Amino acid sequence: NAGVMQNPRHLVRRRGQEARLRCSPMKGHSHVYWYRQLPEEGLKFMVYLQKENIIDESGMPKERFSAEFPKEGPSILRIQQVVRGDSAAYFCASSQYRGPADTQYFGPGTRLTVL
């Protein structure tokens, strides 16, 4: 029973390049959440998606960041024209149901380094 999978685990990009982070939820989970952890900080919620729908993107930066969760395949967090301040650990979590009563299961994260 595989857990939440994220790839790549480490990603290095130069300023101005694009970064694509992938997340495959646990089997049977249709809710995906993305979080970002800056150095010495806690995790910050970015976006919540269900299949083919963005439910809540209140934590997403207004520019350069986008997320999708297509009908088939993993969820993708895309960062265009990366800057040094985007260097962080990006965690994906999934849940079976919506709402606070369920827990979110986290993947191992993608560590993005922008040179």
Partner 1 sequence: DQQVKQNSPSLSVQEGRISILNCDYTNSMFDYFLWYKKYPAEGPTFLISISSIKDKNEDGRFTVFLNKSAKHLSLHIVPSQPGDSAVYFCAASANSGGGADGLTFGKGTHLIIQP
Indicate whether 65 belongs to the interface with partner 1 (CB under 8 A): no
Q: Given the rule CB under 8 A, which of 14-22, 61-69, 71-79, 104-112 is the region that contacts partner 1?
A: 104-112
Residues in CB range of 2: below 8 A, 6 or more apart: 26, 27
Q: Between the CA atoms of 53, 101, 96 and 41, what dihedral angle is there, to the nearest 10 degrees?
A: 70
Q: How far is the CB of 69 from partner 1 (least distance, A)?
A: 14
* Contact residue for partner 1 among 2, 28, 39, 58 (CB under 8 A): 58
Token output for 80 = 């265009």
Residue 15 interacting with partner 1 (CB under 8 A)? no
Amino acid identity, position 8: P
Q: Looking only at residues 81 through 100 of this chain, which bind partner 1 when binding is defined by CB under 8 A?
A: 91, 93, 98-100
Tokens 């970015």, residue?
A: 46
Query: How far is residue 65's CA from residue 82's CA, in Å, rounded to a whole number?
Result: 9
Q: What are the residues binding partner 1 (CB under 8 A)?
A: 4, 6, 31, 33, 35, 40-48, 55-56, 58-59, 91, 93, 98-101, 103-109
